C-alpha cells in the first residue's frame, strides 16, 4: 500500500502538471533546499537575480511553517516549478496537510508558485487588495515570465484568487501554533501582508524587508517608511525577509532598507525643490547607495521615478 | 478652486476600441518586421491616406532607452518651427499599447518653439512615436524605441485608493524667477487615476471601466496656450510641462474634462518681474 501511495501521488501531480513535466522533467524530484530558521519554520533563500530560464523564477524567499495539525506555506515561489519544488521540500519534512498558502503580496516572484498547491485544496490567504492588484498586472506578469523563462513554462502560470482575504488582522491556527497575519496600508505594494509566528517570535515580513538585494517601490515610499516604524514594534526577535538571508535579527535587519528609502525621499525632494526633472533625479538620487545593494542599477532608477511621482503631490 | 460636477455620462468607446486594436496588433506582429508593420497599421488608422515624412529638425522626441517604471515613463517633445512653417500640433503615440494614441497637443502659437514634457504608460517593448502637423499641411514623424522594464514593473496604479480620493485636484509648478516677456516652463499636474479599463474591482467583480482625463485646455489671460486631447496611455496623475510667455500680471486657467464628463477647473495668478 505504501508503495502504491508513493506511486500514485507523483503521477496524480503529473496529470495535473503534464506540460510542466514535459519541458522540465529533471527538476521534478528536486526539493528546494530549506533552512529551519526556528523550530518548525523553514525558509528557502532565493537568488539575487532577475528571473531567467536558468533560475526558473527562484529569486525570492519562500517557505513554510509546520504546526501539530497543518502546514502553512508562506509565499509559493516565482514559478509553478519553484512551487512544485517547495511542495516537494515540505514533503521531505512533514506529511501533515498543507492547509494554507499565504501570499505576502502580489509580485510574481512570490506568488506564481501558488498553482502547485491546488491539489492540496488549501485556503489561499492574502491581503484584501491582493486580487485586484494581481488582476491588473497579470497579463503583464505572464508576458514577462514568458519572455524570461520560456513559453512552455508560462503555460502553467495561473492567477489563483484568494479564498480568504485579510482586511486588518487574522489568526491562523496550525494546531498548537498560532500565526498572526497583519494587512498593512500601502507600502512596498498596496497589498503587503506579514505573518508572525507567536511561538518562535519569527516575523515573516515578505517584501516589506529587502536585505542585500535592491528593493523595489511599487506602492508608496512614505507609506513603506511608516510601515517599517510600525513593524519595528511587532513582538519579534527574528525576521524572514522577502529577499536576503533566510533569517536575521529583528528589528536591526531593517537598518539598510530604512537608510536607503530615506535617501530616496530626501534626494527626490531636493531635486523637486530645484524644479529638476525625473531624469535628473534618476541620475543623482541615492547614487552612493550603489555598492551596498545587488541589482542596484536595475531598481534604483525605477524607485526614484516612482518616488518622484509620489512626492510631487506632498 | 476645483469644481468637479457631473454632466451626462457618456459611454466611453476606449475600452472597446482598445480590445479591437489589440487583436489587430497581434495580427500585425505575425509579419516580418513587427515595428514597421505596427506603424503601417497605426498610420492607416490615424492618418489614413496621408503621407507621413521623417521629421528632420522641426520635431524632436526624448525618451529613456529603458522604461524605469513602466507606469511613469517621462517623455519630452520639442518643436523648432522656422522658415515660415509653424508646428500646430503633435500627436504622441505608444505604438504597442492597447490604445496607442496617448495624446494630441495643439499649439495656438505654433510659430513659437514649444517644449512639452509628459509621462506615459508603456506596456511592452515599443516604439514611441511623435507626429507633428505643420502649417503647410505636412505630417512629420520621429520615433524612439523604449525597452520595458522587467519583473514587477507593470503599468498599473500603485495606490488606487489615493488616486480616486484625490481625483481632480490640480497643481501648478512655476519657476522661482518669472520675468515678463521671457518664456518660462510651467508644470501642470492633474490628479486622476486614468483608469485603463484593465483594472479589476475585486469587491464588485468587474473590470473598472476606462476613466481618464480626455481634454485639458490651458488659457492665459483668456488666450489659448495649449489644448490637449488625451487617453489611457498617459500616466495616472497626468503631468504636462508646457511653455508660456508671461506678462507682468496674468491668470492661468485650466479646464480638464474626463471620460465620464466630469469637469475640473482651476486658476492661478502669475506675477512676473518687469522685463526691463
Same domain, B139 and B186: no
With a cut of 60, say whether residue B203 has pLDDT above it: no
- Confidence band of B150 (pLDDT split at 50, 70, 90): low
Q: Which residues of B touch A298 (CB under 8 A)?
A: 150
What is the mean pLDDT of the segment spanning A96-125?
98
Residues on A contacting B at a C-beta cutoff of 8 Å: 50-51, 107-109, 128-129, 131-133, 135-137, 139-141, 143-144, 148, 186, 189-190, 216, 218-220, 223, 275, 277-279, 282, 298, 301-302, 304-306, 308-310, 312-313
pLDDT tens readout for residues B114-146: 999 999 999 888 999 999 999 999 999 999 999
Boundaries of every domain in chain A:
13-253
Same domain, B189 and B236: yes
Q: Is residue B144 part of a domain?
A: yes
Q: Strand pairing partners for B211?
A: B195
Question: B103 is in which domain, residue-wise?
Answer: 18-153
pLDDT of residue B54: 95
Average pLDDT, chain A: 91
Same domain, B81 and B190: no
| Lowest mean per-residue pLDDT among A33-37, A154-158, B185-189, B207-211 | B207-211
pLDDT of residue B33: 80
Same domain, B93 and B179: no
Q: Is residue B4 part of a domain?
A: no
Pair B85, B135: CB distance under 8 Å: yes
Nearest to A302 among B68, B119, B189 (CB): B68
Identify the domain boundary among B123, B153, B183. Answer: B153
CA distance B150 to chain A (A): 7
pTM of the predicted model, to two decimals? 0.87
More confident residue, B206 or A81: A81
Q: Is residue B263 part of a domain?
A: yes
| Lowest mean per-residue pLDDT among A194-198, B153-157, B232-236 | B153-157
Pair B101, B93: CB distance under 8 Å: yes
pLDDT of residue B12: 35
With a cut of 60, say whether residue A261 has pLDDT above it: yes
Closest C-alpha to B69, from A281, A228, A185, A159: A281
Q: Which residue has the cell 521671457?
A: B182
Retrieve residue A292's grid coordinates: 551596498
Same domain, B104 and B201: no
Nearest CA in chain B to A108: B152
More confident residue, B32 or A286: A286
Q: Do A279 and B152 touch (CB under 8 A)?
A: no
Q: Do A304 and B68 touch (CB under 8 A)?
A: yes
Give the span between the Cα atoms of B68 and A39, in whole angstroms.
41
Same domain, B142 and B188: no
Give the span between the Cα atoms of A163 and A224, in whole angstroms.
26
Q: Is residue B12 part of a domain?
A: no
With a cut of 70, say whether residue B205 has pLDDT above it: no
pLDDT of residue A140: 86
Q: Do B171 and A313 touch (CB under 8 A)?
A: yes
Same domain, B108 and B66: yes
Identify the domain boundary among B153, B183, B217. Answer: B153
pLDDT tens readout for residues A50-86: 999 999 999 999 999 999 999 999 999 999 999 999 9
Same domain, B126 and B220: no
Same domain, B121 and B172: no
**CATH number of domain containing B120:** 2.60.40.2470
Q: Is residue B8 part of a domain?
A: no
Q: Does B205 touch chain A (CB under 8 A)?
A: no
pLDDT of residue A314: 86
Q: Which residue has the cell 495561473?
A: A158
pLDDT of residue B72: 93
Q: How many residues are listed for chain A in this entry?
A: 314
pLDDT of residue B98: 85
Same domain, B161 and B276: yes
pLDDT of residue B8: 29
pLDDT of residue B154: 76
Composition of chain A by helix, strand, coil, percent to 5: 45, 20, 35
Q: Does B165 touch chain A (CB under 8 A)?
A: no
pLDDT of residue B140: 97
CATH number of A13-253: 3.60.15.10
Q: How far is CA A132 from CA A265, B152, B157, in A?
A: 27, 15, 11
Give the span between the Cα atoms of B183 and A146, in whole angstroms.
48
Q: Is residue B10 part of a domain?
A: no
Q: Is residue B5 part of a domain?
A: no
Same domain, B55 and B99: yes
- Confidence band of A8 (pLDDT split at 50, 70, 90): very low
The total number of structural domains in chain B stands at 2
* B200-201/B206-207 β-pairing: antiparallel
**CATH number of domain containing B269:** 2.60.40.10
Retrieve residue A279's grid coordinates: 531624469
Identify the domain boundary among B120, B153, B186. Answer: B153
What is the mean pLDDT of the segment spanning B76-105?
95
Amino acid at each position: 500500500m505504501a508503495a502504491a501511495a508513493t506511486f500514485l501521488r507523483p503521477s496524480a501531480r503529473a496529470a495535473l502538471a503534464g506540460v510542466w513535466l514535459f519541458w522540465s522533467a529533471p527538476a521534478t524530484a528536486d526539493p528546494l533546499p530549506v533552512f529551519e530558521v526556528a523550530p518548525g519554520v523553514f525558509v528557502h533563500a532565493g537568488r539575487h537575480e532577475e528571473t531567467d530560464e536558468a533560475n526558473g523564477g527562484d529569486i525570492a524567499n519562500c517557505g513554510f511553517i509546520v504546526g501539530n495539525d497543518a502546514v502553512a506555506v508562506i509565499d509559493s515561489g516565482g514559478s509553478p516549478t519553484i512551487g512544485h519544488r517547495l511542495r516537494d521540500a515540505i514533503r521531505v519534512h512533514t506529511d501533515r496537510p498543507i492547509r494554507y498558502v499565504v501570499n505576502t503580496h502580489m509580485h510574481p516572484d512570490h506568488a506564481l508558485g501558488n498553482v502547485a498547491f491546488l491539489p492540496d485544496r488549501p485556503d489561499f490567504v492574502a491581503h484584501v487588495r491582493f486580487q485586484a492588484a494581481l488582476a491588473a498586472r497579470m497579463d503583464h506578469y505572464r508576458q514577462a515570465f514568458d519572455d524570461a523563462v520560456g513559453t512552455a513554462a508560462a503555460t502553467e502560470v495561473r492567477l489563483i484568487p484568494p479564498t480568504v482575504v485579510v482586511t486588518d488582522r487574522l489568526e491562523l491556527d496550525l494546531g498548537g501554533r498560532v500565526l498572526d497575519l497583519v494587512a498593512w496600508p500601502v507600502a512596498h505594494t498596496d497589498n503587503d501582508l506579514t505573518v508572525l509566528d507567536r511561538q518562535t517570535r519569527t516575523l515573516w515580513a515578505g517584501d516589506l524587508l529587502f536585505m542585500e538585494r535592491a528593493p523595489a517601490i511599487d506602492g508608496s515610499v512614505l507609506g513603506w517608511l511608516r510601515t517599517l516604524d510600525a513593524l519595528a514594534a511587532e513582538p519579534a526577535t527574528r525576521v524572514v525577509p522577502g529577499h536576503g538571508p533566510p533569517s536575521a535579527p529583528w528589528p536591526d535587519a531593517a537598518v539598510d532598507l530604512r537608510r536607503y528609502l530615506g535617501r530616496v525621499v530626501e534626494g527626490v525632494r531636493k531635486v523637486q525643490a530645484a524644479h529638476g526633472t525625473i531624469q535628473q533625479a534618476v541620475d543623482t538620487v541615492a547614487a552612493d547607495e550603489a555598492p551596498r545593494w545587488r541589482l542596484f542599477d536595475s531598481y534604483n532608477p525605477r524607485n526614484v521615478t516612482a518616488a518622484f511621482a509620489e512626492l510631487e503631490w506632498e | 478652486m476645483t469644481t468637479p460636477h457631473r454632466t451626462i455620462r457618456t459611454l466611453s468607446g476606449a475600452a472597446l476600441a482598445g480590445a479591437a486594436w489589440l487583436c489587430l496588433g497581434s495580427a500585425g506582429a505575425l509579419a516580418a518586421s513587427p515595428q514597421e508593420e505596427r506603424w503601417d497599421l497605426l498610420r492607416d488608422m490615424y492618418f489614413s491616406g496621408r503621407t507621413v515624412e521623417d521629421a528632420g529638425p522641426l520635431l524632436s522626441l526624448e525618451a529613456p532607452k529603458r522604461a524605469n517604471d513602466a507606469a511613469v515613463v517621462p517623455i519630452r517633445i520639442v518643436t523648432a518651427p522656422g522658415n515660415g512653417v509653424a508646428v500646430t500640433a503633435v500627436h504622441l503615440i505608444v505604438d504597442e499599447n492597447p490604445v496607442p494614441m496617448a495624446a494630441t497637443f495643439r499649439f495656438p502659437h505654433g510659430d513659437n518653439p514649444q517644449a512639452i514634457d509628459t509621462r506615459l504608460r508603456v506596456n511592452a517593448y515599443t516604439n514611441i512615436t511623435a507626429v507633428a502637423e505643420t502649417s503647410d499641411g505636412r505630417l512629420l514623424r520621429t520615433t524612439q524605441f523604449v525597452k520595458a522594464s522587467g519583473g514587477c514593473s507593470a503599468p498599473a496604479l500603485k495606490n488606487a485608493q489615493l488616486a480616486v480620493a484625490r481625483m481632480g485636484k490640480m497643481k501648478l509648478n512655476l519657476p522661482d524667477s518669472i520675468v515678463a516677456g521671457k518664456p518660462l516652463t510651467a508644470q501642470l499636474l492633474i490628479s486622476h487615476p486614468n483608469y485603463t479599463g484593465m483594472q479589476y474591482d475585486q469587491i464588485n467583480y468587474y473590470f473598472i471601466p476606462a476613466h481618464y482625463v480626455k481634454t485639458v485646455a490651458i488659457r492665459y489671460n483668456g488666450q489659448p496656450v495649449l489644448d490637449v486631447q488625451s487617453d489611457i496611455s498617459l500616466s495616472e496623475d497626468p503631468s504636462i510641462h508646457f511653455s508660456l510667455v508671461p506678462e507682468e500680471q496674468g491668470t492661468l486657467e485650466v479646464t480638464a474634462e474626463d471620460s465620464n464628463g466630469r469637469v475640473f477647473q482651476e486658476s492661478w495668478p502669475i506675477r512676473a518681474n518687469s522685463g526691463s
